[in-house]
Structure 1
Amino acid sequence: MTSNVTAVSYGLNVTPTGLEELRSVLASHGAQVVSESSPADDRYQVRILELALPDVTAAALAALRRSVADAATGDFDTALVPAGLRAAARKLLIMDVDSTLIQQEVIELLAAYAGKREEVAAVTEAAMRGELDFAQSLHARVAVLAGLPADVVHSVRHEVKLSEGAGELVAAFKAAGHIVAVVSGGFNQILEPIAADLGLDYWQANELEIVDGVLTGRVLGAVVDRAAKEKYLREWAAAEDIALEHTVAVGDGANDLDMLGAAGIGVAFNAKPAVCAVADAALNMPYLDAVRHVAGV
């Protein structure tokens, strides 16, 4: 019997009782467990079940994902991943940046220098929940930066911290010969050194306008919104001759929804409820490198 879908459970407490509940849900959909394994990690637990499913159409897999999510099998999450993605010789990992690759929202760090952090944070939260148009909200938030010296950008660079496991995740994908990209509604001036340090293959964000050493409160060119994120995913996958079915997208906000939906599997990382509700998988712990177990890297 050959596995055609893999169930990857991960969390701080993957209990035997929870796993039994998961197996029950899987069995109700006709899934047969081909094999099981437990990769070692001293920060969180992982359990991998190779499954044979009678129906692996997109509709059947979506229904199974809903059943697994609704079962709420304990303090862990389970991703259901097509075997073809996990076995692919070359994959593309594409990630959001703010609150995904990094721990902070850069626009809020910048706004703090203008005394507007709380005001901007409230708008950011609403935009990430999908309550506001992202491009309009970005222009409004960037406008509060007008008049700040460009040196604040350098100061913010030093405040930015990678999410736990982010460096390990990128290194694992790169070492295995895969492609790693990030696309951000944030800013190139912050992302460029991060991308260089991590050795990313592709990256794109918005460009803050700076004139005579001062932020103008505007961005240059088209805003990187949810449609643009999906566009870059498709462009970069095509450039690398990687099928969309072999791509993994990770994000946390409404701006990531199109990208998550277009990828082979979309992972909601400590995401807003609206994102978790439609993503293929959810990751609700701080360790971003758990994505490597989902992808089979």
Structure 2
Amino acid sequence: MTAALIVILAADPAALEAAQSDVRRVVASVGGGTDAWTKLTDRPLTAVSTQVTGTDITALRTVLAQVATNHEVDLAVTDVVMHTAGPGLLIMDVDSTLIQQEVIELLAAHAGREREVAVVTERAMRGELDFAQSLQQRVAALVGLPESVFEQVRRQVQLSPGARNLITTAKEHGFIVAVVSGGFIEVVGPLAADLGIDHARANALEVRDGVLTGRTTGPIIDRAAKAATLRELATAHGIPLERTVAVGDGANDLDMLAAAGLGIAYNAKPIVREQAHAALNQPHLDSVLFMLGLAADRHSLHSVHD
């Protein structure tokens, strides 16, 4: 017997009615049935959900991906277990996900080499370059920068809209919140501490005599390391993978998104949108809350589908 699933749509109200009709049609075409739609919230977008029975989650995600594209709506299919009260794990990428910038580019700007580093970053995030090699190449551009540059860059960082609300609300509902970044712990660590994030992992830059050497030190946080971190933290906190949520935007996040119970592409590169379980294409990071059965005003919506 197939488990009950939840389909969530988030969009401008004008786009929702046609998308809802298409979801019902597509679900029926694969032998499933839908309940009535329930409105979750009107902020920052209108979000609605329906319970689906009679079909498999992988198959449903595949056929509904085209509905999301056709109607330009955000759509997710989750197991009903994601919408029941209890502990969970939310793990996020940092650059261009939790924050609006790429830290390596902010650092490179202080060396006058932002443009060349940005080109390499873009290619790596599209999956065109090996991440470890691209990281080595980009970090080499930072050689000679004073250690004080970390504080300057920390002041430049801007959170994605809704980031603080997402973290606060998820933690209020029992989620462990973590970040894992191909960026740098010298910036990510203090940021995570300020936001009350439970775990933070990132690459470390080598510093000698107060200046950057143009090299990293310690293990590289690549796509495999990101997925391994998700599994490790879930095990450490006794959280089943079905209750894990990963959010990212680049090719370096693909393994982590695949390993999670729900992998969400956030304003992501095409290769990531195509492979993730769900895609958010609006600039509101706290829209992730809809996918967890929570409203942006911090009230639980679990009772809708219990």
| TM-score class normalised by the smaller sequence | over 0.9
Superposition RMSD in Å = 1.4
The answer on 1:241 being equivalent to 2:242 is no
Q: Give the aligned residue type for 1:101.
A: L
Aligned to 2:287: 290
Q: Tell whether the 8 Å contact from 2:3 to 2:79 is kept in structure 1 after alignment.
A: no
SS at structure 1 position matched to 2:271: helix
1:28-177 equivalent positions in 2, closer than 5 A: 28-52=29-53, 54-56=54-56, 61-71=57-67, 72-177=69-174
In structure 2, list runs of 5 or more residues that go unmatched.
295-306
Aligned to 1:267: 264
SS at structure 1 position matched to 2:36: strand
1:117-143: per-residue Cα shift (whole Å, max 9, x none)?
A: 110000000000111110110011000
SS at structure 1 position matched to 2:275: coil
Q: Give the aligned residue type for 2:18.
A: T
SS at structure 1 position matched to 2:40: coil
Q: TM-score, normalised by structure 1?
A: 0.94
Q: Tell whether the 8 Å contact from 2:41 to 2:48 is kept in structure 1 after alignment.
A: no
Q: Distance in 2 between matches of 1:3 and 1:264?
A: 14
1:10-21 equivalent positions in 2, closer than 5 A: 10-13=10-13, 14-21=15-22
Q: Tell whether the 8 Å contact from 1:35 to 1:51 is kept in structure 2 after alignment.
A: no
Distance 1:44 1:17, change over 3 A: same
Q: Tell whether the 8 Å contact from 2:9 to 2:16 is kept in structure 1 after alignment.
A: no
SS at structure 2 position matched to 1:38: strand
Moved over 6 A (4+): none
Q: Distance in 1 between matches of 2:138 and 2:222?
A: 14
Distance 1:63 1:169, change over 3 A: same
CA apart distance, 1:30: 2.2
Q: Distance in 1 between matches of 2:38 and 2:292?
A: 15
Percent identity of paired positions between Structure 1 and Structure 2? 51
Aligned to 2:6: 6
SS at structure 2 position matched to 1:119: helix
Q: Give the aligned residue type for 1:118.
A: R
Q: Distance in 1 between matches of 2:70 and 2:136?
A: 42
Q: Tell whether the 8 Å contact from 2:32 to 2:55 is kept in structure 1 after alignment.
A: no
SS at structure 1 position matched to 2:127: coil
Q: Distance in 1 between matches of 2:270 and 2:65?
A: 13
Q: Distance in 2 between matches of 1:46 and 1:218?
A: 45
Q: TM-score, normalised by structure 2?
A: 0.92
Q: Tell whether the 8 Å contact from 2:44 to 2:287 is kept in structure 1 after alignment.
A: no
CA apart distance, 1:62: 2.0
Q: Give the aligned residue type for 2:35.
A: V
CA apart distance, 1:88: 4.9
SS at structure 2 position matched to 1:192: helix
CA apart distance, 1:289: 0.7
Q: Distance in 1 between matches of 2:194 and 2:6?
A: 33
Q: Distance in 2 between matches of 1:73 and 1:33?
A: 20
Q: Distance in 1 between matches of 2:193 and 2:115?
A: 31
Which one is further off, 280-289 or 19-28?
A: 19-28
Aligned to 1:278: 275
Which one is further off, 221-230 or 64-73?
A: 64-73
Q: Distance in 1 between matches of 2:214 and 2:206?
A: 7
CA apart distance, 1:17: 1.7
SS at structure 1 position matched to 2:35: strand
Q: Distance in 2 between matches of 1:234 and 1:15?
A: 35
SS at structure 2 position matched to 1:182: strand
CA apart distance, 1:3: 7.4
Q: Tell whether the 8 Å contact from 2:247 to 2:266 is kept in structure 1 after alignment.
A: yes
How many residues of Structure 1 are paired with residues of Structure 2 in the alignment? 291
Q: Distance in 2 between matches of 1:197 and 1:23?
A: 43
Q: Tell whether the 8 Å contact from 1:88 to 1:246 is kept in structure 2 after alignment.
A: no
